[in-house]
């Protein structure tokens, strides 16, 4: 098998507050191969967001390697903007730009980061909006959209730059239960197209459907990993069993 697209090796991250040091990522090893969908599960505070933010270089790690396409992007001499332009992170709270129409949210990076012409960027953006079922909202402002629509727009914005890897941080947690389905359906479709994804989620049914690998994070360490059937149906570790019991 060829090298995975993304490899984390012994990644460590601490937060210092008021003199105490909290180890939030404690020796993480993780691989995401191309066209694979890896799902992170774990209780709130287990370090899922920190891990995704570290991969997107929004936070520096203390130690370890984050290798993307053969390059250790944790090294501070690597051009972080270039790395981030190849990745896309979708946040729990959408983080659409409220002053821009949906279409302009989508064309912002293609035009200003990737130097696309406006007409081309808009054509791509409209195609992407059609794919997520939002072509009729292209001219609307984010606050005129429902939560599910906003999140789908945010995913479209992430995808329109053709990222090598899509990072998703609990993208359904802020949504009404009734709106969760439309977002998960979209992600399932993306997985079927072969989009490489690293996903943090609390939706176990969804994890079971889409994951090639499920990774259980507990107190900054990976306690268990495997296929959905292995981790979700036959968990070996007591921490995993406890976690799964609680969220059922």
Partner 1 sequence: MGEMSGPVDDWTPSARARARTEFRRAQHRRALLVALVATLLVVAVVVLVVTTAPGWDRAREAFFSPQRAVEVLPEVAAGLWLNFRVWVVASVVGLVVGLLLAVVRTSRIPALFPLRMLTVAYVDVFRGVPLLLVLLLVGFGLPALRLSWLPVSAAFLGGLAIVLTYTAYFAEIFRAGIESVHPSQVSAARSLGLNRGQATRLVVLPQAVRNVTAPAASMLVSLQKDSGLISILGAVDAIRAAQIATTGDYNFTPYVVAGVLFLLISIPLTRLVDAWSARQGWRGELRRLPGAGVLR
- Under the rule (CB under 6 A), what is the footprint of ligand ADP? 15, 17, 24, 42, 44-50
Which x/- pattern over 22-61 shows residues binding Mg ion (rule: CB under 5 A)?
Answer: ---------------------------x------------
Q: Are strands 37-41 and 63-68 parallel, antiparallel or unpaired?
A: unpaired
Q: Can residue 4 be called a binding residue for partner 1 (CB under 8 A)? A: no
> Of 56-75, which residues contact partner 1 (CB under 8 A)?
57-60, 62-65, 74-75
Residue 201 phi, psi (nearest 5): -150, 160
Closer CB to Mg ion, 39 or 129, in the complex: 39
Q: What residue has token string 């972080």? A: 80
CB contact at 8 A, 90 and 166: yes
Query: How far is Cα 94 from Cα 8, in angstroms, rounded to an integer?
Result: 26
**Residues 6 or more apart from 51 whose CB is under 8 A from it?**
8, 11, 25, 28, 30, 40, 200, 217
Least distance (Å) from partner 1 to the CB of residue 82?
11
SS3 state of residue 12: strand
Number of residues forming the site for partner 1 (CB under 8 A): 29
- As measured in angstroms, the least distance from the Cβ of 42 to ligand ADP is 6
Q: Which residues bind partner 1 (CB under 8 A)?
A: 10, 12, 14, 17, 20-24, 26, 45, 47, 49, 53, 57-60, 62-65, 74-77, 80, 219-220
């Amino acid at each position: 098998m060829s090298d995975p697209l993304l490899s984390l090796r012994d990644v460590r991250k601490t937060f210092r507050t008021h003199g105490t040091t909290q180890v939030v990522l404690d020796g993480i090893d993780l691989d995401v191969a191309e066209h694979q969908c890896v799902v992170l599960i774990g209780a709130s505070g287990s370090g899922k967001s920190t891990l995704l933010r570290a991969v997107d270089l929004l936070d520096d790690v203390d130690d370890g390697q984050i290798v993307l396409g053969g390059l250790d992007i944790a090294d501070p001499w690597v051009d972080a903007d270039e790395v981030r332009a190849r990745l896309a992170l979708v946040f729990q709270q959408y983080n659409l730009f409220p002053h821009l129409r949906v279409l302009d949210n989508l064309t912002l990076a293609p035009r200003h980061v990737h130097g696309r012409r406006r007409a081309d960027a808009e054509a791509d953006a409209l195609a992407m909006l059609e794919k997520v079922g939002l072509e009729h909202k292209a001219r609307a402002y984010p606050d005129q959209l429902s939560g599910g629509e906003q999140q789908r727009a945010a995913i479209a914005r992430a995808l329109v730059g053709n990222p090598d890897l899509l990072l998703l941080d609990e993208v359904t947690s802020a949504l009404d239960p009734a709106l969760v389905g439309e977002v998960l359906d979209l992600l399932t479709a993306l997985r079927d197209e072969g989009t490489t994804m690293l996903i943090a989620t609390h939706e176990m049914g969804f994890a079971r459907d889409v994951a090639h690998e499920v990774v259980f994070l507990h107190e900054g360490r990976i306690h268990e990993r495997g296929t959905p059937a292995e981790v979700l149906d036959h968990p070996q570790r007591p921490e995993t069993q406890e976690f799964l019991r609680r969220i059922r």
